[in-house]
Amino acid sequence: MGQKKNIAIYCRVSTQMQTTDRQQEELTKLANERSDWNYSNGYSTVDICSLFNSEVF
């Protein structure tokens, strides 16, 4: 078996009214199930990004 890959979790939502709770839960579960991944709870980030620009509309 090869060396484990260090991974990070990146969660993204489109508005501030949404949460990443479900994404984080599912991705953390997956990361912990993979024997070839090395995941630390400290390596995650959340991004709130909207393509809506009020000046354009």
Q: Report, as residue numbers or ranges, the catalytic residues.
A: 14
Q: Is the dihedral of CA 8, 29, 17, 52 positive or negative?
A: positive
What size, in residues, is the chain? 57
Q: Which helix (H) or strand (E) holds 31?
A: helix 21-33
